[in-house]
């Protein structure tokens, strides 16, 4: 029996693909891309004078430059992609995994977004995303794609067979105490001896907080910020970092070239080159406008962070998308691998955003979810504790879109045993 089904498929043009790619490029990647286009298209040219830009600044204020690995995005990407064939995956999963690889921060090796947010960003089912994310986090180097330094260290200790409940608590709760040498405070908080704390600290210090650093040849790393925030006599200002490559333009010789051409094939080539050049100039203008709008939004929403150097307030990619009238994937591209210079140092733009889990269409932080989970468990019938699946169902009734596996992960982070052990 024949069955006909009508489907619609959204396609994007080559010009749109180029615009999306350039939107995700940082200044270094942009320069490489424009250089290649200049070699291929005779109708593109650089401005006669280079635009002044600020000197490169250290990645983070107060941190030695050698603390940040000197590893190109391509090298890390190739290393991770080479491990994919060792897993039996469907084509759709391979596609998701490759996109996750591209989202790993090339300087730290981290992937700070949670699974629900990544699922929204990539437009794929949460179970498939979680499986691919688990595979990526199981790759070498150990700790790759961790959400933060604590998760990275725990992953490395787990890979070495050293992770215990006590050691995990030291990592997740007392890294600041370790850095300050407050071993007695850790011992008092965990009710263990100082000698035990020292052994735990030795194991932790044997790990690598930035999983890509072991792959690097070392050397100082400097970045050129895409956005500069500064204060002058008229108040706080936003400036974009410009280079000649970000201001490439159409050549004024197009009319002259075309008049000299006799062959139709040559005229066709020149017309196509003109269309490509126009698309490039429009894509660069879109990138500049998008970055400027994002910078103005961050100055408004994260003023205390930018101006006073305070911790960033709650701001989700979804919040920015709604305020800017953009899709969340577009906002993710704007933020990806971009840096901002503030009076207090240079930071990734992602420094201004927190991870998110989604409740309906609005973003809520993972801290809110953990708090609500703790409330449900505290109010449960102690004779019949709530299972992770039941908690997920109760949260779903309230609008939280979260899987049982995520519930288990956050329950473990709260140091709450499973329902069997809570009886």
In tens, the pLDDT along 30-66 reads 888 887 888 777 788 877 644 334 333 333 333 333 3
In a domain, 421, yes or no: no
In a domain, 162, yes or no: yes
Instruction: State the pLDDT at residue 61.
Output: 33
Q: Provide mean pLDDT across the span 146-156.
A: 89
In tens, the pLDDT along 268-286 reads 887 888 888 889 999 999 9
Instruction: State the pLDDT at residue 73.
Output: 54
CA distance 241 to 27: 8
Residues 43-62, buried b or exposed e (16+ Cβ, 10 A)? bbbeeeeeeebeeebbbbee
Point out the domain boundary residue: 88, 110, 137.
137
In a domain, 172, yes or no: yes
Point out the domain boundary residue: 173, 192, 210.
210
Share of the chain above pLDDT 70, in %: 81
Burial class of 240 by CB neighbour count within 10 A (0 to 12, 13 to 18, 19+): middle
Q: Provide mean pLDDT across the span 369-378.
A: 81
CA distance 382 to 419: 9
**Three-state secondary-structure class, residue 133:** helix
Q: Are residues 79 and 133 in the same domain?
A: yes
Structure-model confidence comparison of residues 350 and 136, the more confident one: 136
Assign 222 a pLDDT band (cuts: 50, 70, 90): very low
Assign 166 a pLDDT band (cuts: 50, 70, 90): very high
In tens, the pLDDT along 240-268 reads 877 666 778 887 776 666 667 677 777 78
Query: Is 115 a residue whose pLDDT tops 90?
Result: no
In a domain, 169, yes or no: yes
Most confidently modeled range among 2-11, 38-47, 188-197, 367-376:
188-197
Q: Provide mean pLDDT across the span 112-138.
A: 87
Instruction: State the pLDDT at residue 74.
Output: 62
Q: What is the DSSP string of 213-241?
A: GGGS-----EE--SEEEEEETTEEEEEE-
Most confidently modeled range among 74-78, 323-327, 360-364:
323-327
Instruction: State the pLDDT at residue 62.
Output: 32
Q: What is the DSSP string of 60-90?
A: STTS-GGGS----HHHHHHHHHTTGGGS---
Point out the domain boundary residue: 137, 157, 177.
137
In a domain, 286, yes or no: no
Q: Are residues 91 and 129 in the same domain?
A: yes
Instruction: State the pLDDT at residue 71.
Output: 42
In a domain, 240, yes or no: no
Q: Are residues 155 and 199 in the same domain?
A: yes
Q: For residue 386, what are the CA distances in angstroms to 366, 374, 399, 410? A: 20, 11, 18, 14
Q: Tell me how far the alpha carbon of residue 234 is from its chain's centroid.
A: 34
In tens, the pLDDT along 303-355 reads 888 888 776 777 788 888 889 998 888 888 898 888 888 877 777 888 787 64
Query: Is 223 a residue whose pLDDT tops 50?
Result: yes
Residue 106's domain comprises 69-137
Considering its fold, how many domains does the chain have in total? 3
In tens, the pLDDT along 82-101 reads 778 767 778 888 899 988 98
Is the pTM value of this prediction over 0.85? no
**Three-state secondary-structure class, residue 345:** strand
Burial class of 209 by CB neighbour count within 10 A (0 to 12, 13 to 18, 19+): buried
Share of the chain above pLDDT 90, in %: 9
Instruction: State the pLDDT at residue 191.
Output: 92
Assign 421 a pLDDT band (cuts: 50, 70, 90): confident
In a domain, 48, yes or no: no
In a domain, 273, yes or no: no
Q: Are residues 379 and 409 in the same domain?
A: yes
In tens, the pLDDT along 186-212 reads 999 999 988 898 888 888 888 888 887
289's CB contacts (< 8 A; 6+ apart) are none
């Amino acid at each position: 029996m024949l069955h006909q089904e009508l489907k619609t498929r959204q396609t994007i043009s080559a010009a749109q693909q180029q615009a999306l790619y350039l939107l995700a490029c940082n200044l270094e990647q942009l320069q490489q891309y424009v250089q290649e286009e200049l070699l291929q298209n005779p109708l593109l040219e650089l401005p006669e004078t280079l635009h002044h830009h600020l000197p490169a600044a250290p990645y983070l204020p107060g941190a030695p430059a050698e603390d940040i690995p000197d590893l190109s995005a391509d090298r890390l990407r190739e290393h991770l992609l080479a491990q994919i064939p060792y897993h039996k995956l469907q084509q759709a999963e391979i596609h998701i995994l490759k996109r996750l690889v591209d989202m790993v921060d090339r300087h730290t090796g981290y992937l700070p977004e949670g699974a629900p947010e990544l699922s929204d960003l990539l437009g794929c089912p949460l179970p498939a995303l979680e499986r691919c994310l688990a595979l990526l986090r199981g790759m070498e180097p150990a700790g790759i794609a961790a959400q933060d330094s604590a998760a990275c260290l725990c992953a490395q200790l787990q890979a070495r067979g050293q992770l215990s409940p006590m050691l995990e608590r030291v990592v997740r709760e007392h890294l600041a105490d370790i850095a300050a040498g407050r071993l007695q405070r850790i011992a008092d908080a965990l009710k263990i001896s100082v000698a035990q704390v020292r052994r735990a600290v030795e194991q932790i210090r044997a790990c690598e907080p930035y999983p890509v650093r072991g792959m690097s040849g070392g050397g100082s790393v400097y970045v050129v910020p895409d956005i500069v925030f500064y204060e002058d006599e008229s108040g706080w200002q936003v400036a974009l970092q410009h280079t000649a490559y970000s201001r490439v333009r159409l050549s004024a010789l197009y009319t002259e070239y075309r008049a000299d051409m006799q062959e139709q094939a040559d005229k066709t080539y020149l017309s196509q080159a003109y269309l490509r050049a126009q698309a490039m100039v429009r894509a660069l203008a879109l990138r500049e406008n998008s970055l400027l709008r994002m910078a103005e939004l961050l100055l408004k929403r994260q003023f205390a962070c930018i101006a006073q150097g305070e911790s960033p307030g709650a701001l989700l990619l979804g919040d920015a998308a709604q305020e800017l009238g953009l899709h969340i994937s577009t906002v993710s591209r704007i933020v990806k691998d971009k840096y901002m210079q503030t009076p207090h140092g240079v930071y990734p733009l992602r420094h201004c955003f927190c991870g998110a889990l989604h409740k309906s269409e609005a973003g809520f932080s993972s801290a809110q979810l953990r708090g609500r989970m703790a409330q449900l468990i505290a109010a449960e019938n102690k004779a019949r504790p709530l299972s992770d699946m039941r908690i997920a169902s109760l949260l779903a009734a309230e609008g939280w879109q979260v899987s049982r596996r995520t519930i288990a992960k956050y329950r473990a982070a709260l140091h709450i045993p499973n329902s069997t052990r809570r009886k």
